[in-house]
Amino acid sequence: MSAEGEVLALEVIEQSLDTSVIGRAAKHPNELWESIDSTNNRAAQLAASGAPEGVLVLARQQTAGRGRHGRVWVTPPDAGIALSVILRPQIALTRLPLVTLATGTAVARAIEASVGVRVGLKWVNDLILNGRKLGGILAEMPGQSLIIGIGINLRFSQSDVPQELVDRIEWLERVVGKPVDPNLVVLELARKLEEAYQMLLSGKVDEIISAWKSYSVTIGQDIETKNGDKVIRGRAVDITTSGALVLQLEDGSTTELYAGEISIRKQDGSYA
């Protein structure tokens, strides 16, 4: 253990891994990188060269981590969990938006089980704690495979956080006030991802949606979204069976959002 706490160690995770798909690909090792550009890039490379589903790629540091909408995702050494998993689901394309919701629930459950903290989910898949961003999910489909990338902030020193993010990001150790073992979090992530994946494969759509809603910090909120120059505002009232967010507009009509980014109205009337 380092002075600051445990760091990711594949042998520690694998010795307790009791899943059958996630992290358990036959004849293909999981990977843990000291430093890598992006675990999603590496997982995509492996998938392109035929790696089976279940292979995990982890990194203690990412030098070119990616977020949604082309944003940068910062993972300084041992400051977070950067994990990608290769999946090859045999499901209808229409079910894919549900993958991201099922993953969000899995991550929330894993954090709850390993750290005892209940996070909120902001559509489509931000992990929110104390109104700040704790982590996010980047699902990508290179070729025939599905890569699920998960980033969770674990430990930062306040002085390392860029000024513009100070009020906007959260990390687990700040909340629990003691070291958090990332290996335990990854172990639970593998377990909960596997449960979510089984739910998806067996078409338990209602279960996926209601589990996601139980962690939602979105439903019931006034939200804003931009589509080019157009700003749409409304109240988030539901999630459809295909994973779209249902908004009730001021005139009482409803509209569905399938992609994009939402901001939630704060008490002062601004949107964040």
Please give the residue ranges that form the binding site for ligand BTN (CB under 6 A).
38-40, 62, 65-68, 71, 73, 82-84, 126, 136-138, 149-151
65 or 97, CB closer to ligand BTN? 65
Cβ distance to ligand BTN smaller for residue 46 or 138: 138
Beta-strand pair 230-239/222-227: antiparallel
Nearer to ligand BTN, 192 or 205 (CB): 192
Q: Where are the alpha helices (DSSP H) in the chain?
A: 10-16, 39-48, 96-115, 172-176, 182-201, 205-215
Q: How far apart are CA 48 and CA 67, in angstroms?
A: 21
Which residue number is nearest to ligand BTN in terms of Cβ?
A: 136
Cβ contact 89:130 at 8 Å: no
Nearer to ligand BTN, 205 or 223 (CB): 223
Joined together, the tokens standing for residue 86 give: 């290769």
Cβ proximity to ligand BTN: between 84 and 225 the closer is: 84
Shortest Cβ distance from residue 65 to ligand BTN (Å)?
A: 4
Q: Supply the minimum distance, in Å, between the C-beta of residue 151 and ligand BTN.
A: 3
Q: Is the peptide bond before 124 cis (omega within 30 degrees of 0)?
A: yes
Cβ proximity to ligand BTN: between 136 and 234 the closer is 136
CB 251, min distance to ligand BTN, A: 32
**Whole-number minimum distance, CB 248 to ligand BTN, in Å?**
26
CB of 35 to ligand BTN, least distance (A): 13
CB of 249 to ligand BTN, least distance (A): 26
Residue 5 near residue 185, CB atoms below 8 Å: no
Residue 122 and residue 261: Cα distance in Å, rounded?
A: 10
Cα–Cα distance for residue pair 197/176, rounded to 1 Å: 29
DSSP SS3 for 29: coil
Cα three-residue angle 55-59-61, rounded to 5 degrees: 160
